[in-house]
Structure 1
């Protein structure tokens, strides 16, 4: 069994899943096994639930008469099937990566382009070696374009994801201090993220460039085709403004006010608007898309609760995004408390980067600094309160309410700061 042979059966399926709990009628189930679990044991149960076919990597559970097929690697077969499906598609695919803002930018691009087209896009954070092929396989005949988010924590990963998604357009949000441990430092981050540029250049595809970013400028200098924004001579030029802690953009005296906080989101808005213009969408439609997009994914999300303004930005954190969040939050009017969690995957730079963030926080004169995680805890001084984990903070908050009018929660996914939200 290979991907080409299996493809006609795939076209009959309603969906592809790797979660045995979510199997529905006419699905294809890829039985991914872990170190301590053989998912192939669920094969017959999946068929009984209505699955059209099951892919297993354990020959003992294969039964072609019931559409249970053996392959040496379910992961490799999933990727090969996605590549074959991509090769049949005749629609533009926009590839997206970067250190910060990938998911928000993807959501905004989808919101804008959906004003004119039927757009498929990465759901949630399915942006890795499994999530990207799953997203490609979710593209149906009715879709007119797709937006694929690509994440990476080491070099050659974006290169591999590009071979699967084969983007016609690409955008790197920025190059920041994320996953320093895996990439081997900031230069490694730049090299790894630039694998998207390498793919687009070698296949003569279009690059979207923020001309206010010197690295993007340098990496794309002299290349065509590209779409540009940010500079005075760019294809599209927008003005930034903010109102009541929300960021927006203006174009030719027209204003689009988002529900996102943070001036770092301005370039995310610009990227979405630029692609909207490129694909023939007028500004009134772009404005409507931006103003109706409501962040609900713990990224730059404003929550009003009991007379307090909470900034929920707990999905991820690295030194670049943390510094930007703190600086933005310092401009809020009224008393301010920050709850910051450890930044993970920083390797040998971890101590220095956590120390730098604490120094920045102290310089911004917040009314209260609360830290969560072992890295910050080692560095805490008398002017901050530290906890080893979110559970300890939750216990503290049950008895000690934060009095500030504005509260920022920012930390890496592993810290799960959103768990304390109900106690604030």
Structure 2
């Protein structure tokens, strides 16, 4: 196979692939050369390695037609008679093993981010700070689990210098697995909250799950939110609002354009709202300092930051200002969003739309009642709620300011009949509140 100039990026991976399958009694031709790794058959091009995950086994034929160099599958399919189709016991395990081997070959630094809230925004902010100085890649979309993280690693190039990898989980042992694959050099844990309590039962277990990462990174390369009670006795670089932290956030001021704040003595501005984003930005600032980026470069890079959508995203439609914070939700993040929205200076009436927070376990109605109680503390014009959990919680509170809707489109109609309003949308991913804006 003729190698194009641009294809040299995966030379190391091709060598790993050949060696890996030799150990598993598959002899691949030394002439193969992999140009990229895909899990979506529609993205396969000539030279791709296609790894068929779950239903992907049904699209092996399509991947071959598109020019896949090698296909890995784990089901009996008609294409098994092709010399470049390899059947393994488990495609996901092969994906993970190949990513682990490739990571060892790469000379880059890995920054691993986990926590109950703020992972994606923190990832974006760290990427923004570092990417003007280094060749940096970050987690693709929401590829932060046992499939997405190894897939992201297999998208890295040998010339990349830093990878910023988000680590998600829903149970014990998952961060451990991701850490073994990613072999992180630096760790960031944003906080310990109430996410995934349906599976983990309590915050103590959330703490155990998130801190599985700490076994793989030394304390002097571990960044923690120091105000979180769970981190008081944990060694690491601590960032927060309290004076005992290594880096203290102070003088924060919120405007429509964003946040200005100090970290220790240095001043910064980010085009984001909500005091919690000063914490997320500070993780990026401190990592920038550790990696020898000077103050002015860090300061300038933060002004141009680009954040993944549906994270306190401002959208104006039909003269209504929407704050789309509807990517996901937990009790902690919903309360933070309510506080941020309440403090946002707007010459408009403020309306909040709150949908169910999912995966909270036996105390889910109590948590939703707490969220609505928090919303009632602020001077919001109306509180519109959607979802069975919000319905039950609103009935308990029985406040005339809270209005329940059984259909998102009815909320949309209600909003369209109002004038000069700002609307916060906040709920779990499964509730898809962003459809109200469409």
Give yes or no for TM over 0.5.
yes
> Among residues 294, 307, 325, which one is paired with 1:295 in the alignment?
307
> Among residues 259, 263, 268, which one is paired with 2:275 in the alignment?
263
1:394 and 2:404 matched: no
Q: Report the CA distance shift for 1:327/1:243 in structure 2 as closer, same or farther (over 3 A).
A: closer
After superposition, residues 108-147 of structure 1 pair within 5 angstroms as 108-147=125-164
1:242 and 2:253 matched: yes
Compute the displacement of 1:286 (Å). 1.0
Write the deviation string for residues 118-169 of structure 1: whole angstroms up to 9, x where unpaired.
0111011110010000011111111011111000111111111111111111
For residue 293 of structure 1, give the secondary structure of its aligned residue in structure 2: coil
Q: Report the CA distance shift for 1:41/1:229 in structure 2 as closer, same or farther (over 3 A).
A: closer
> Among residues 219, 229, 233, which one is paired with 2:239 in the alignment?
229
2:273–2:344: 8 Å Cα contact kept in structure 1? no
1:30 and 2:44 matched: no
For 1:200 and 1:279, how far apart are their aligned partners in 2? 16
Compute the displacement of 1:61 (Å). 3.6
1:98–1:193: 8 Å Cα contact kept in structure 2? yes
After superposition, residues 176-325 of structure 1 pair within 5 angstroms as 176-200=193-217, 206-220=221-235, 226-230=236-240, 232=243, 235-245=246-256, 246-251=258-263, 255-325=267-337
CA RMSD of aligned residues (A): 2.5
After superposition, residues 323-362 of structure 1 pair within 5 angstroms as 323-333=335-345, 334=347, 335-362=349-376
2:179–2:216: 8 Å Cα contact kept in structure 1? yes
> Among residues 385, 388, 413, which one is paired with 1:374 in the alignment?
388
For 2:410 and 2:42, how far apart are their aligned partners in 1? 32
Q: Report the CA distance shift for 1:187/1:303 in structure 2 as closer, same or farther (over 3 A).
A: same
For residue 217 of structure 2, give the secondary structure of its aligned residue in structure 1: helix
Q: Which deviates more, 233-242 or 383-392? A: 233-242
Compute the displacement of 1:238 (Å). 4.3
Write the deviation string for residues 255-308 of structure 1: whole angstroms up to 9, x where unpaired.
332111110111001100000011011121111221101334101222234544
Q: Which deviates more, 256-265 or 14-23? A: 14-23
1:310–1:408: 8 Å Cα contact kept in structure 2? yes
2:128–2:306: 8 Å Cα contact kept in structure 1? no
Q: Report the CA distance shift for 1:153/1:11 in structure 2 as closer, same or farther (over 3 A).
A: farther
1:385 and 2:412 matched: no
For structure 1, list consecutive stretches of 5 or more residues without a partner in the other structure: 221-225
For 1:143 and 1:2, how far apart are their aligned partners in 2? 20
Compute the displacement of 1:235 (Å). 4.9
Correspondence for 1:20: 41
For structure 2, list consecutive stretches of 5 or more residues without a partner in the other structure: 1-15, 23-27
For 1:275 and 1:294, how far apart are their aligned partners in 2? 18
Correspondence for 1:223: none
For 1:385 and 1:108, how far apart are their aligned partners in 2? 36
For 1:313 and 1:157, how far apart are their aligned partners in 2? 26
1:62–1:69: 8 Å Cα contact kept in structure 2? no
Q: Report the CA distance shift for 1:281/1:176 in structure 2 as closer, same or farther (over 3 A).
A: same
Compute the displacement of 1:340 (Å). 0.7
Q: Report the CA distance shift for 1:11/1:84 in structure 2 as closer, same or farther (over 3 A).
A: farther
Correspondence for 1:54: 71
For 2:231 and 2:49, how far apart are their aligned partners in 1? 40
For 1:304 and 1:60, how far apart are their aligned partners in 2? 50
Q: Report the CA distance shift for 1:251/1:416 in structure 2 as closer, same or farther (over 3 A).
A: same
For residue 163 of structure 2, give the secondary structure of its aligned residue in structure 1: strand
Correspondence for 2:10: none
For 2:195 and 2:425, how far apart are their aligned partners in 1? 18
For 2:180 and 2:40, how far apart are their aligned partners in 1? 25
Q: Report the CA distance shift for 1:376/1:65 in structure 2 as closer, same or farther (over 3 A).
A: closer
2:254–2:344: 8 Å Cα contact kept in structure 1? no
Q: Report the CA distance shift for 1:167/1:44 in structure 2 as closer, same or farther (over 3 A).
A: same
For residue 83 of structure 1, give the secondary structure of its aligned residue in structure 2: helix
Q: Report the CA distance shift for 1:248/1:4 in structure 2 as closer, same or farther (over 3 A).
A: farther
